[in-house]
Structure 1
Amino acid sequence: MNQPAPLPLVASLLDAPLPPSGIAWLDTARQENRAAFAAAGLPDTKVEAWKYTALRGLGQRSFANGDADAQTRAVDASALALPGVAGVRLVFVNGAFRADLSTLDALPDGLSLQPLSLALQGDAEPLRFALSRHYRDAGDAFAQVNAAIASDGVVLRVAAHARIEQPVQLVFAGAEAELAWHARNVIELGEGAELSLVEHYASRGDAAQLATLVSDIELRDGAQLHHVVLQDAAIGTNLIRRSSLHLHARAQATLHVLELGGALVRHDLRAELIGDDAQLHTRGVFMPHGRQHIDTQLAIRHQALNTTSTSHWRGVANDRARGVFRGAIVVAPGADGSDANLSNKNLLLSPSAEIDTKPELEIYADEVQAAHGATVGQLDERSLFYLRSRGIPLAEARALLTAAFCRAVLDDLPNAALREHLSGLLVAQLPT
């Protein structure tokens, strides 16, 4: 029986050449992940993790692989700067490292930071565990593509007990070109280390792009990570990301995530609390408008004693936009004394907007505190009436209430200058 022709997107991704590395285990992993993608193709809505994110339209697109002109693409460096973030910066344009836009001189003691392409030219063995991973689940298509094709990204390590004073900024910029690019990040904080990390997705123009990015983040015993993710990609960008965090004993990670741009955007955020007393705190806002589709998949697994997770996410959808949020918490056998709390509150600002939210909680341990909940609704009419009775026009009253609703997840961001800037971006995104 003849096999059906692959979708244009699948065909274009399979046509992309595998990056030669000269490292046997890496080349093997790339070939095996590519073979897995060729066999399975794109997930459809029958796959539970993709139930609310159909790929029919994207599957009919095809993209050139990589950008031969990435080193000379014009990028406004000033547009990459963020208030309160003035330290080390690593910049990628269409997936390629740009030394001219990066700031890597005078790295602070204890910080190692370099592009993956350079790290693979040296001793690649420390990267073997992350880069030789095989993705086999039904919804892993884009992780398989990334593992097969990505040739650049970030390798960041903080030495044990080092405290990096200034935030480190990672910038992934899309520039005018219709193509696909892929990046892979490997981040490790040593025992007792502390780091503030700002991850910024910024692009301009109307060119349609497909970008995949996979990050593996390891926090050793007692490490602390303060992580801000700002996604403000151009309206033509299809951005698929996966972030995997592993928290060892007493490690703490705090994430603040803003999802603002893009056409189809998906972020799989997976965290495993594998050491006693590990803590994870996530805060996020997704704000699709127009015909944007933004999908956040949050999966947290408590695997050790007395671990803690708190997750507070807000969604606002306008026009014909669609937001998706799935928050899944598993308290595994033996994770006694765990404390897990998840909340997702959402606003619909137009009759045609849609938000699908699905909180999940599975508990297999004893003496556990756990709560989860989700709401989807509209602005409170009593609050609107109160503001209007004091002379505030309806449109302004709606904007004030919506801004306050979103800003709540930024209240505990310690970088005041960055917090105010992100708040301003939220306000600018609100309908007028």
Structure 2
Amino acid sequence: MTEVQASRTPFVQAVLDAEGAEASEGTGIVWLDTARRENLDAFLATGLPEGRSEAWKYTPLRALAQRAFAPADADAARAANVDAAVFALPGVTGPRIVLVDGVFRADLSVLDTLPSGLRVEPLSVALTLAPEPLRFALAARHRRDAADAFLHLNAALARDGVVVNVAEGCTIESPVHVVYVATQNDVAWHARALVEVGQGGHLNVVEHHVAIGDANALGTVVSDFVLRDDAVLELVLIQDASAAATLVRRSHARVGARAAATVHAVELGGALVRHELTAELVGEGARFDSRGVFALKARQHIDTQMDVRHQARDTTSDALWRGVADGRSRGVFRGAIVVAEGADGSDAALSNKNLLLSAQAEIDTKPELEIYADEVKAAHGATIGQLDERSMFYLRSRGIPQVQARSLLTLAFCRAALGSLPNEALREHLGALLVAHLPTGPAEA
């Protein structure tokens, strides 16, 4: 291992201790063990990103750097008492794969009767049976940059995850439910997801984060979605982690010619949450649409970073995001669109509107647009405001109590991001979650 250059904060020291405890353990797959060592070295060389990193400007990690997370106990994860009702979702009754504290749980998963053309299995099993097809994804080289610290940490320490594959030309009717459950305190768990939709295939995925009790763990999840030509992916991301959790995710979509990916995201839980949603439109006529909402209260901090890159002709992206912050919470949204040279005929749109429900709440929004091609249509905009007083007065004058009027207006604002979700039962359930999470009374402290 290379000499450690990062300061020995408790966080970094805990990573070193965890690596030392597992140094004798290897997968027996040379390229994978090499990649893990390289990523660990990359993390140790930089440590956690600091405020001078532009990508982390609005999300300081000083407090996190002082925490020492032990590795999640795999035996405890396998024995944890988890009621399936915790992650049950209306309108989502198909295949299901569950990881508890980063460990696959067969007893909670539903993988016995998969439809023809669909493969769903834990990453640990896929690496045992046929590791070579996963080499490109798991051994990819990343920048040795502090901004990518959690990417390196995940690549070095993730021992399990999810592999989903749809065969060419197959349409999978029922959503695949991918569940991450956190149960332990003061531990770190990591998971990797690889999803591929073959040419002309169609897949729905629901990624769902929940917790048992007030688990204050650190979780990292890195997900790659590959869409071959003419493929379709509908992805729903539901983050309802513990109010004490720290959760860092990166979701990356690579979209081929005439393929289409649609993302609906709801961010509710967590004390400190960051989600990096990136897309590469690499095939002519590729499309990427995203709809999302984050709702914060108390002292929550949620950071959403979206980066869409148009790299081929006649590609399209459309992003509509909503944010609500109450109490002393802080929301961050950065939406970047890059139209590369040669991506003529691209059409890109980004809208981010935010609502402050408290004088102590804060939302930082930063739309970015870079265009290096000709004949391009592009638009972006961002706003931050408060509840409309006239609408509030109208509802109050009709006899609606202030608490209910406040809730109705806030929910209507958020629902703009969920109205296009085709699964009606799931859409209504997410609306109910928003109602339960959003404040119903005066601003919270």
Question: 1:63 and 2:69 equivalent?
Answer: yes
TM-score (norm 1): 0.98
Determine the structure 2 residue equivalent to 1:387: 395
Determine the structure 2 residue equivalent to 1:25: 31
Determine the structure 2 residue equivalent to 1:311: 319
Q: Distance in 2 between matches of 1:401 and 1:319?
A: 17
1:16–1:149: 8 Å Cα contact kept in structure 2? no
Q: Percent identity?
A: 61
Determine the structure 1 residue equivalent to 2:271: 263
Deviation at 1:4, TM superposition (A): 7.8
Query: Residue 29 of structure 1: SS of its match in structure 2?
Result: helix
For each residue in 1:302-325, what CA deviation from the matched residue of structure 2 results, as whole angstroms up to 9, or x when unmatched? 000100000000000000000000
Deviation at 1:3, TM superposition (A): 7.2
Deviation at 1:15, TM superposition (A): 2.0
Query: Residue 146 of structure 2: SS of its match in structure 1?
Result: coil
Q: Distance in 2 between matches of 1:158 and 1:143?
A: 26
Determine the structure 1 residue equivalent to 2:8: 6
Supply the AA of the counterpart residue of 1:7.
Answer: T
Question: 1:16 and 2:15 equivalent?
Answer: no
Q: Distance in 2 between matches of 1:126 and 1:3?
A: 34
**CA shift in 2, pair 1:91/1:4, >3 Å:** closer
How many pairs were matched up?
431
Deviation at 1:207, TM superposition (A): 3.0
Supply the AA of the counterpart residue of 2:387.
Answer: L
Q: Distance in 2 between matches of 1:257 and 1:232?
A: 11
1:308–1:339: 8 Å Cα contact kept in structure 2? yes
Determine the structure 2 residue equivalent to 1:189: 197
Deviation at 1:386, TM superposition (A): 1.4
1:337–1:366: 8 Å Cα contact kept in structure 2? yes
Q: Distance in 2 between matches of 1:361 and 1:177?
A: 41
Determine the structure 1 residue equivalent to 2:404: 396
Query: Residue 305 of structure 2: SS of its match in structure 1?
Result: strand
Determine the structure 1 residue equivalent to 2:186: 178
Deviation at 1:106, TM superposition (A): 1.0
Question: 1:98 and 2:105 equivalent?
Answer: yes
Unaligned runs of 5+ in 2: 441-445
Determine the structure 2 residue equivalent to 1:217: 225
**CA shift in 2, pair 1:146/1:170, >3 Å:** same
Deviation at 1:395, TM superposition (A): 1.9
2:316–2:346: 8 Å Cα contact kept in structure 1? yes
Q: Distance in 2 between matches of 1:284 and 1:14?
A: 36
Flag as ranges the 4+ runs of structure 1 deviating above 2 A: 2-5
Q: Distance in 1 between matches of 2:393 and 2:201?
A: 50
Once the two structures are superposed, the pairs formed by residues 181-260 of structure 1 within 5 Å of their partners are 181-260=189-268
For each residue in 1:347-400, what CA deviation from the matched residue of structure 2 results, as whole angstroms up to 9, or x when unmatched? 000000000000000001111000000001101111112112212222221111
2:5–2:45: 8 Å Cα contact kept in structure 1? no
Once the two structures are superposed, the pairs formed by residues 290-301 of structure 1 within 5 Å of their partners are 290-301=298-309
For each residue in 1:132-190, what CA deviation from the matched residue of structure 2 results, as whole angstroms up to 9, or x when unmatched? 02222330001000000101000110000000011110000001332100000111000
Q: Distance in 1 between matches of 2:259 and 2:18?
A: 39
For each residue in 1:16-61, what CA deviation from the matched residue of structure 2 results, as whole angstroms up to 9, or x when unmatched? 2355111111111100110011111110111110000000001100
Unaligned runs of 5+ in 1: none
Determine the structure 1 residue equivalent to 2:151: 143
